[in-house]
Amino acid sequence: MEITKNIDAVFGILGLSGDEKRRTIGTGFFINESGGFVTAAHTFKRANEGWAYFAIIEGKKIELNKLYQEYLDMESQVAPIHLDLYIGDFALDKKTNHLFFHPSSYLKNGDILEFSGYAGRYYLDKEATKNEVQKTPGTIGINIDDLWANTENDEEENELQEKNTESNILHLAPVDQLNWGSQIDNLKYSSITGVFKNHCFEKIFEYIPVAGVFTNGFTFQLTNAKMEPAGLSGGPIIKNKIVFGMLITKNAAITSEYIVHQLELQDVKFYLK
Judged by average pLDDT, the poorest of 1-5, 73-77, 86-90 is: 1-5
Boundaries of every domain in the chain: 10-119+185-265
C-beta separation of 121 from 177 below 8 A: no
Rg (CA), the chain: 18
Q: Is-above-0.75 flag for pTM?
A: yes
For residue 24, what pLDDT is reported? 81
Average pLDDT, the chain: 78
What's the CA angle centered on 93, arms 88 and 99, to 5 degrees?
50
Burial of 99 from C-beta contacts in 10 A (0-12 / 13-18 / 19+): buried
pLDDT in tens, 142-201: 333 444 333 333 332 333 333 333 333 333 333 334 444 556 666 788 889 999 999 999
How large a percentage of the chain has pLDDT more than 70?
A: 69
C-beta separation of 128 from 186 below 8 A: no
Mean pLDDT of 64-92: 93
For residue 124, what pLDDT is reported? 55
For residue 162, what pLDDT is reported? 33
pLDDT at 13 over 70: yes
Please indicate whether residue 253 or residue 226 has the higher confidence score (pLDDT): 253
Q: How confident is the model at residue 76 (pLDDT cuts 50, 70, 90)?
A: confident
66-78: buried (b, 16+ CB within 10 Å) or exposed (e) per residue? ebeeebeebeebe
Residue 227 to residue 164: CA distance in whole angstroms? 15
For residue 169, what pLDDT is reported? 30
Mean pLDDT of 132-139: 36
For residue 236, what pLDDT is reported? 97
Please indicate whether residue 83 or residue 154 has the higher confidence score (pLDDT): 83
Q: How confident is the model at residue 3 (pLDDT cuts 50, 70, 90)?
A: low
Q: How many CA atoms lie within 13 A of 9 on its CB side?
A: 16
Alpha-carbon dihedral angle through residues 231, 234, 237, 242, given to the nearest 10 degrees: -130
For residue 134, what pLDDT is reported? 36
Neighbouring C-beta atoms of residue 262, cutoff 10 Å: 17
For residue 85, what pLDDT is reported? 98
Judged by average pLDDT, the poorest of 50-54, 104-108, 145-149, 231-235 is: 145-149
Q: What class does CATH assign to 10-119+185-265?
A: mainly beta
Judged by average pLDDT, the poorest of 60-74, 121-135, 244-258 is: 121-135
pLDDT at 2 over 90: no
pLDDT at 132 over 60: no
For residue 93, what pLDDT is reported? 86
